[in-house]
Amino acid sequence: MARVCEICGKGASSGNTIVRSGMAKKKGGIGLHITGVTKRRFLPNIHRIRVSENGGVVRRKVCAACIRAGKVVKA
């Protein structure tokens, strides 16, 4: 099941998880140092909802932003 909104096309995006150690300079340390960087995924808030379309009812995978914006009419 692809995590993609069928209305706006919003899908998963990638980024990094950054691990830092050390004490911050303003707290009296020598500063934070990056000790590890790993890839991660940012997933959209996808819901399967029943939508009214062309006089019928169908199930669609829609992101929460489209539901809140009123881009779909719930059945």
Q: What average pLDDT does this structure show over 10-25?
A: 96
pLDDT at 1 over 80: no
Q: How confident is the model at residue 2 (pLDDT cuts 50, 70, 90)?
A: confident
* pLDDT at site 14: 97
E strand or H helix at 18, and its extent? strand 13-21
Q: What is the DSSP string of 21-72?
A: ES--GGGTSS--EEEEEEEEEE---EEEEEEEETTEEEEEEEEHHHHHHT-S
Task: Spell out the domain ranges in the chain.
Answer: 13-69
Beta-bridge partner residues of 52: 57
* pLDDT at site 16: 98
pLDDT tens readout for residues 28-63: 999 999 999 999 999 999 999 999 999 999 999 999
Tell me the pTM: 0.75
